[in-house]
Amino acid sequence: MDSEALKKYSALHPKPAGLTLQYGTAGFRTKAEQLDHVMFRMGLLAVLRSKAVVSTIGIMVTASHNPEEDNGVKLVDPLGEMLHPSWEEYATQLANAEDGELQKIIIEICQKAAVNQRKDASVFIGRDTRPSSEKLSQSVIDGISVLGGQYHDYGLVTTPQLHYMVCCQNTQGQYGKATLEGYYEKLSKAFTELIKQSPSSGESQRHVKIDCANGIGALKLSEMEPYFPKEVLIHLYNDGTKEKLNHLCGADFVKVHQKPPRGLDMKPNERCCSFDGDADRIVYYYKDATGYFHLIDGDKIATLISIFLKELLAKVGQTLKMAVVQTAYANGSSTRYLEETLKVPVHCVKTGVKHLHHKAQEFDVGVYFEANGHGTVLFSKTAETKIRELAKEEKDDEKREAAKVLENMIDLINQTVGDAISDMLVIEAILALKGLTVQQWDAVYTDLPNRLLKVQVADRRVIDTTDAERRAVTPPGLQEKIDALVKKYRLSRAFVRPSGTEDVVRIYAEADTQENADALAHEVSLAVYHLAGGKGAPPQP
């Protein structure tokens, strides 16, 4: 390690006094002007991580669904998964170190993580369309270069595309070609094969309106459009040419406000969807004939995919184990439908994609989605090998055809991470193959009315939870109070959990009517305010 070069470059990316940041589920995120030193240091960390695992590591410069003024950075591990939790701690240490301590902390990390400094390092970099992203990714490059790492800058890509490239690179091309072209070709080929099988193939063009959150999704969808079969017509809105990123649009806005984005005009029963700012989440929606807005969130997407995969698995007649992974935020109706009607096991885990991904790896076919629209499907090596073998060699026509559909599904799904483009194509293919309208899909089950609230507290750490965040352990008396409140309403449940990023406590409640869900959420928020050190005025109904 060249300590002079490190000193020199570190001085070009000084840390603002008194700033401390925490590497969370989404990496680091804050105002863009506070991130220069963090980017430089994550360049350093990526080199260390690459040497430690002797693989290519990814760095994505994005703040996803946050406002345009913000930015952030996340690291991608060798198989396209999120950074290993033990390294999140190193990331936090390195980001918060004083300028003079950098070399000492790098040496400590190398010792703790058994990093062989003599190994080569390779890093893939991607960025979103924010005005600050290009300069910040240059700071990442400075960090990589100081420690002698090699890098490939993919420039503007969606977050899932970078995850995909990293996985392709580290599987020596087994997962696919580590280029944008490779990504477009693999997905569109699988999609085209699937669409060919659909009952209405060729007769009607399938229109879908897409709100791209004024972000990277619009750029990449327009690059990919020439690869799509002619049966599919995509119409892009909020493409970033006129308005600000994520402003009154995007998947997060639509999910939270339960209303259509600005800049997309909906006619009755048209299929519409929204991506978030870095295109790793998607939600669908439509307006019915009376003009009423219907949201189809991650739970209903997971249900559609599960129905489809379960039918196919039954047809191929293999004993492959399938399960759905959800968080406590999943609507109670979706859980009930999956378990009771579809007879698919459902597992509940803590909030955060890494927890869902990890649990889904335990099954032959693991479907996971957060209600916010982030999710994918994982196929075990065993399941994938078996399916590809059947698609090639099975004598029975029906079984072989079902295996071929499954094989194309495996190729269409981005198994590294939730991917709005891939998920959209999966949904469009399933709707076409099953001949379903968006209304029929929506009618599979009816969501229980629910309400999300947050309460400001002096210190979010006073709340500790258990049972996948569904029950509060501290402060004393809070869970008992919630239990008593829940008893007052039909089909109700409620839980509270501390935010991962700010001093607020998030509250979720559902019940048989919207009025009851709202009342329950409000009563629980008062309990949190009084028992967990609420700040400011008490919550108002």
DSSP labels, 403-416? HHHHHHHHHHS-TT
The answer, yes or no, to whether residue 203 has pLDDT greater than 60, is no
- As beta bridge partners, residue 209 has 235, 272
Give per-residue pLDDT as tens, 295-328.
999 999 999 999 999 999 999 987 899 999 999 9
The answer, yes or no, to whether residue 202 has pLDDT greater than 70, is no
- C-alpha 269/C-alpha 45 separation (Å) is 49
Per-residue pLDDT, averaged over 34-57, amounts to 97
Contact, 352 vs 343, CB < 8 A?
Answer: no
Query: Is the pTM for the entire model greater than 0.85?
Result: yes
Give per-residue pLDDT as tens, 216-244.
999 999 999 999 988 889 999 999 999 99
DSSP labels, 62-128? --TTS-TTEEEEEEE-TTS-BPPHHHHHHHHHHHHS-GGGHHHHHHHHHHHTT--TTS--EEEEEE-
Instruction: Band the pLDDT of 337: cuts 50, 70, 90.
Output: very high
User: What is the DSSP-derived secondary structure letter of residue 457?
Assistant: B
240's tokens? 């970033």
467 has binding-site annotation: no
- pLDDT score recorded for residue 160: 98
Per-residue pLDDT, averaged over 533-541, amounts to 92
Contact, 222 vs 275, CB < 8 A?
Answer: no
Sequence-separated (6 or more) residues with CB below 8 Å from residue 261: 211, 213, 237, 238, 248, 249, 250, 253, 254, 274
120 has binding-site annotation: no
Q: To which residue do tokens 């690459």 refer?
A: 50
465 has binding-site annotation: no
- pLDDT score recorded for residue 200: 67
What's the mean per-residue pLDDT of the chain? 95
The answer, yes or no, to whether residue 333 has pLDDT greater than 80, is yes
Which of 468, 473, 471 shows the shortest CA–CA distance to 494? 471
User: What is the DSSP-derived secondary structure letter of residue 538?
Assistant: P
- pLDDT score recorded for residue 201: 53
How many other CB atoms sit within 10 Å of the CB of residue 226? 8
How many other CB atoms sit within 10 Å of the CB of residue 483? 11
- C-alpha 65/C-alpha 256 separation (Å) is 12
Which of 217, 215, 209, 226 shows the shortest CA–CA distance to 160? 217
- pLDDT score recorded for residue 25: 78
Torsion of CA 8, 10, 12, 15, to 10 degrees: -150
- pLDDT score recorded for residue 205: 65
Percentage of the chain beyond pLDDT 70 is 99
- pLDDT score recorded for residue 395: 95
Q: What angle do CA 162, 163, 167 make, to 5 degrees?
A: 115
238 has binding-site annotation: no
Q: What is the 3-class SS of 115-132, one letter each residue?
A: CCCCCCCEEEEEECCCCC
- pLDDT score recorded for residue 499: 86
Give per-residue pLDDT as tens, 400-458.
999 999 999 999 999 999 999 999 999 999 999 999 999 999 999 999 999 999 999 99
Residues catalogued as catalytic: 64
- C-alpha 505/C-alpha 527 separation (Å) is 11
- pLDDT score recorded for residue 199: 77
DSSP labels, 150-202? EEEEEEE--HHHHHHHHHHHHTTTSS--SSHHHHHHHHHHHHHHHHHTSTTTT
55 has binding-site annotation: no
498 has binding-site annotation: yes
- As beta bridge partners, residue 50 has none
The answer, yes or no, to whether residue 59 has pLDDT greater than 90, is yes
Domains delineated in the chain:
3-156 (3.40.120.10), 182-296 (3.40.120), 298-418 (3.40.120.10), 450-532 (3.30.310.50)
Q: What is the 3-class SS of 12-59, one letter each residue?
A: HCCCCCCCCCCCECCEEEEEHHHCHHHHHHHHHHHHHHHHHHCCEEEE
501 has binding-site annotation: yes
- pLDDT score recorded for residue 318: 76
Name the helix (H) or strand (E) containing 519.
Answer: helix 514-531
From residue 414, give the alpha-carbon distance in Å to each of 183, 395, 422, 425, 449: 10, 29, 6, 11, 31
317 has binding-site annotation: no
- C-alpha 368/C-alpha 362 separation (Å) is 12
265 has binding-site annotation: no
14 has binding-site annotation: no
- pLDDT score recorded for residue 194: 95
77 has binding-site annotation: no
The answer, yes or no, to whether residue 148 has pLDDT greater than 80, is yes
The answer, yes or no, to whether residue 270 has pLDDT greater than 90, is yes
